[in-house]
Amino acid sequence: MQLLAGRKTRTEHPEFEGRGAALQGPLLSLRNVSRRFVTSRHNTTALDDVSLDINAGEFVCVVGPSGCGKSTLLNLVAGLDRPTAGEMLFDGRPLKGAAADRVVVFQEAALYPWLNVRANVEFGLKMKHVSGSKRRELVDQYLELVNLSGFQKAFVHELSGGMKQRVQLARALAVEPRMLLMDEPFAALDAQTRDVLQAELQEIWQRTGSTILFITHNVREAALLGDRVIVMTPSPGRFKSEIPVPLKRPRDPDTHAVVDFAAEIRTQLQHDEYPVRAKDSGYVI
């Protein structure tokens, strides 16, 4: 309920209306969603009674320690998995299965090594049966957006980790999805590359007006990128709190505002991980 109240205040801001702004309600709406995994040995509740609304044009980050159900949440929204309880609405209609209106950028390179960069970006468009000339146009446009125009003919194994993630981003954006789902996309990169890609993602988000659900375990990243940050706790996976990020854009990861905000998020996380110590000791960030 607390989460829903938070949403209402955000919909009043017109600057959050991006692509697909025509609809009235939220773009994505989860109502009391749970996902339990039942095996012969034991049952796990990966997600327990979770509710969430995401409006068109919003950038929502989900942070939490590993095993808190972040990836389960993303898989449900992507349509790769089904909830065991609750209701999921996308664009006002029940969410059923995977479709190109919700596209995932994976942590590891989920690119196709036998295709060159261009053909990889083209992949989603081919699945949608987009015509050849239209495909060429879109691929050019999105390769330029991720600064990879010079690498069209390169093969995946010739690219660095950061470049691979840019190809993934271009491939996802090329199908012009209603919502972009990012599953710790920068977690496997080195710090410098991550900084560059975070800045580029901010810029791309502002330019395209995409709606993004961004999963991460990096609190600084969440503070840097999100309009709102949702903090999750593990076993069972629950939403602990939702923190609006009131900072102006574009944000710089080294400014005090972002660092302080990251500290606040970390406090929320630490309460849970070390409940006793958190009470009687100050936090060191």
Partner 1 sequence: MSSDSVTIGADASPSPLLTLAGKPVAFVRSKFWLFVRITIFYAGLLALWQLLYNMEIWSPYLFPSPREVWDELWQYYENGLLQDSIRETMRRMFIGYTIAFVAGTLIGIACGAMRWVDETLGSLVLGLQSLPSIAWIPLAILWYGLGDQAIIFVVFMGSVCAIAISARDGVRNIPPLQQRAARVFGASGWQTIRYVTFPGMLPSMAQGMKLGWSFSWRSLMAGELIVGGTIGVGGLLQTGRDLNKMELVIATMLVIVAIGLIVDRLFFGPMESWVRHRWGLSQT
46 or 245: CB nearest partner 1: 46
Measured CA to CA, the distance from residue 137 to residue 154 in angstroms comes to: 19
When asked if residue 175 is in the footprint of partner 1 (CB under 8 A), the reply is yes
State the SS3 of 214-250: EEECCHHHHHHHCCEEEEEECCCCEEEEEEECCCCCC
User: What backbone torsions phi and psi does residue 110 show, to the nearest 5 degrees?
Assistant: -95, 35
Among 156, 196, 199, 278, binds partner 1 (CB under 8 A): 156
Q: Which stretch binds partner 1 (CB under 8 A): 54-62, 105-113, 190-198, 203-211?
A: 105-113
**For residue 166, is it left (φ>0), alpha (ψ between -120 and 50) or beta?**
alpha
When asked if residue 188 is in the footprint of partner 1 (CB under 8 A), the reply is no
User: What backbone torsions phi and psi does residue 272 show, to the nearest 5 degrees?
Assistant: -85, -40
When asked if residue 104 is in the footprint of partner 1 (CB under 8 A), the reply is yes
Shortest spacing between CB 275 and partner 1, in angstroms: 36
Shortest spacing between CB 108 and partner 1, in angstroms: 6
130 or 189: CB nearest partner 1: 130
Q: Which stretch binds partner 1 (CB under 8 A): 34-42, 49-57, 112-120, 237-245?
A: 112-120
When asked if residue 157 is in the footprint of partner 1 (CB under 8 A), the reply is yes
Shortest spacing between CB 100 and partner 1, in angstroms: 4
Rg (CA), the chain: 19
Q: Which residues contact 23 (CB under 8 A, 6 or more apart)?
A: 56, 91, 92
Measured CA to CA, the distance from residue 272 to residue 10 in angstroms comes to: 27
99 or 247: CB nearest partner 1: 99
Among 110, 137, 153, 274, binds partner 1 (CB under 8 A): 110
Shortest spacing between CB 236 and partner 1, in angstroms: 24
38 or 110: CB nearest partner 1: 110
Task: Read off the tokens for 152.
Answer: 């069209």
Q: Which residues contact 140 (CB under 8 A, 6 or more apart)?
A: 149
Cα-based angle 213, 36, 68 (whole degrees, multiple of 5)? 45
When asked if residue 98 is in the footprint of partner 1 (CB under 8 A), the reply is yes
Measured CA to CA, the distance from residue 58 to residue 115 in angstroms comes to: 33
Shortest spacing between CB 106 and partner 1, in angstroms: 6
On whether the CB atoms of residues 105 and 169 are closer than 8 A, the answer is yes
Number of residues forming the site for partner 1 (CB under 8 A): 26
When asked if residue 16 is in the footprint of partner 1 (CB under 8 A), the reply is no
Task: Read off the tokens for 263.
Answer: 């500290």
Note the residues at the interface with partner 1 (CB under 8 A).
78, 80, 98-100, 102-104, 106, 108, 110-115, 123-124, 126-128, 155-158, 175
